[in-house]
Amino acid sequence: DVKVTQSSRYLVKRTGEKVFLECVQDMDHENMFWYRQDPGLGLRLIYFSYDVKMKEKGDIPEGYSVSREKKERFSLILESASTNQTSMYLCASSISSTSRTQYFGPGTRLLVL
Amino acid sequence: DQQVKQNSPSLSVQEGRISILNCDYTNSMFDYFLWYKKYPAEGPTFLISISSIKDKNEDGRFTVFLNKSAKHLSLHIVPSQPGDSAVYFCAAKANQAGTALIFGKGTTLSVSS
């Protein structure tokens, strides 16, 4: 059974703080993804990674960076949090670049004050 | 420009009746389509998928139909149950390594008893 875990379910941060969201998958998946979900906007891809130390920008990378030092871990970094980054953040993984099915973590609801 | 569109933000159905959720796409390179279901405060879970070489895929109460010429797919749930109440996301993938799923904005299904 695939398991994708996210370090926090809820986070409250202040504007300007540096925020780290961690995601770990235990199935040796090559690909990992970060999305944010906002009402009426669906799931929007921020960044994804198809290998260790590799990253690709998604649709909305501005204000975010990522780190993938180990295969099982993919971190999303908000360098200087802003109120418009208040959102639900979802991490996902898939077996390989040709795999179609993604498995999602439970999400982190981030509130930036 | 949205490549995957779910034009109905919400749908209300009575228990026992059929639910039909629709999805349109614009990119002819998409060759695989998925439906995800999401409950509040949880990550999306994979529901059913279809390859572009098929026009129908069935799994229990869930059937996905694909009309390639119209670039349209639909998810049928029969019979609908109150536990089906959730947000449903349509997603599509092109047959290219290193590409991510493209999600629609989602349709909120409410099934009343």
Sign of the dihedral defined by the CA atoms of residues A29, A31, A37, A42, in that order: negative
pLDDT at residue number B98: 65
Task: List C-alpha distances in Å: A107 to A8, B21, B64.
Answer: 8, 24, 27
| C-alpha span between A24 and B47 (Å, rounded) | 22
Q: Is the pLDDT of residue B79 over 70?
A: yes
d(CA A77, CA A60): 13
Q: State the Cα torsion A112-B1-B4-B7 to the nearest 10°.
A: 80
- For the cut 70, the answer to whether the pLDDT of residue B111 exceeds it is yes
Contact of A96 with A30, CB cutoff 8 Å: yes
Name beta bridge partners: A5.
A24
Q: Shortest CB distance from A100 goes to which of B9, B32, B98?
A: B32
Of B34 and B94, more confident: B34
From first to last of its 113 residues, chain A has per-residue pLDDT tens of: 668 999 999 999 999 999 999 999 998 999 999 999 998 888 999 999 988 988 999 989 999 999 999 999 999 999 999 999 999 999 999 987 667 788 999 999 999 99
The Cα A77–Cα A46 span in angstroms is 11
Residue of chain B whose alpha carbon sits nearest to that of A58: B100
pLDDT tens column, B50-74:
999 999 999 999 999 999 999 999 9
Does the structure show a pLDDT above 80 at B95? no
Chain B: nearest CA to A94, how far in angstroms?
A: 10
Cβ contact B9–A97 (<8 Å): no
Count the Cβ atoms, other than its own, within 10 Å of residue A48: 27
- The answer to whether the beta carbons of residues B28 and B52 sit under 8 Å apart is no
Q: d(Cα B40, Cα A34) in Å, to the nearest integer?
A: 18
Out of A33, A45, A97, closest to residue B97 by CB: A97
Computed on alpha carbons and rounded to an integer, the radius of gyration of chain A in Å comes to: 13
How much is the pLDDT for B97? 66
Rounded distance, CA A65 to CA B35, Å? 28
Interface of B with A (CB under 8 A): 6, 9, 32, 34, 36, 41-46, 49, 89, 93, 97-106
CB spacing of B100 vs A58 below 8 angstroms: yes
Would you call A16 an interface residue with chain B, using a CB distance cutoff of 8 Å? no
pLDDT at site A53: 87
pLDDT attached to residue A21: 97
The structure tokens listed for B68 are: 């390639």
Q: What is the C-alpha separation between B93 and B29, in angstroms, rounded?
A: 8
Q: Kindly report, residue by residue over B2-47, the tens digit of the pLDDT.
A: 899 999 999 999 999 999 999 999 999 999 999 999 998 889 999 9
